[in-house]
């Protein structure tokens, strides 16, 4: 039975993702967000009268928002991982996460 425990412990040991994975994910999310913004910028307001033309802008809003939110969370998590243990307790950690999300959101929106 202990042999099974050892095998399970080895099989379920946490694995750190490669460092380049976060960078690739961030660049992909940034690219998706920029494509969504470009799609919305190219859309003409006069086309809004016809509901058949709403699919592409609606998809751009949904996909761009999701990618932007994921990008903000990814960057905030990376910043939190870079400075572990700077705040103790759940409340302080939550407050810091909210501040990081706000700062990252302002930075992303300010670049547009």
In a domain, 7, yes or no: no
Q: Which residue would you say has higher pLDDT here, 10 or 2?
A: 10
Tell me which residue range forms the domain holding 65: 22-110
Spatial contact of 79 and 41, defined as CB atoms under 8 Å apart: no
Spatial contact of 36 and 67, defined as CB atoms under 8 Å apart: yes
CA 59 remoteness from chain centre:
18
CA 6 remoteness from chain centre:
36
- Radius of gyration in angstroms for the set of CA atoms belonging to the chain, rounded to a whole number: 20
In a domain, 8, yes or no: no
Between CA 89 and CA 34 the distance in angstroms is: 37
pLDDT, tens digit, 9 for 90 and up, residues 22-37: 889 989 998 998 898 8
What is the count of structural domains for the chain?
Answer: 1
In a domain, 79, yes or no: yes
pLDDT, tens digit, 9 for 90 and up, residues 57-92: 889 889 988 998 888 888 777 776 666 555 455 667
Q: What pLDDT is recorded for position 1?
A: 59
In a domain, 89, yes or no: yes
């Amino acid at each position: 039975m202990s042999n099974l425990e050892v095998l399970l412990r080895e099989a379920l040991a946490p694995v750190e993702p490669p460092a380049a994975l976060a960078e690739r994910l961030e660049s992909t999310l940034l690219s998706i967000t920029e494509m969504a913004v470009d799609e919305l910028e190219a859309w003409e307001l006069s086309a809004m009268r016809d509901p058949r033309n709403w699919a592409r802008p609606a998809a751009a809003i949904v996909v761009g928002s999701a990618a932007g939110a994921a990008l903000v969370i990814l960057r905030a998590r990376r910043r939190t991982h870079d400075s572990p243990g700077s705040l103790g307790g759940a409340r302080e950690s939550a407050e810091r996460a909210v501040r990081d999300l706000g700062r990252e959101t302002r930075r992303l929106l300010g670049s547009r």
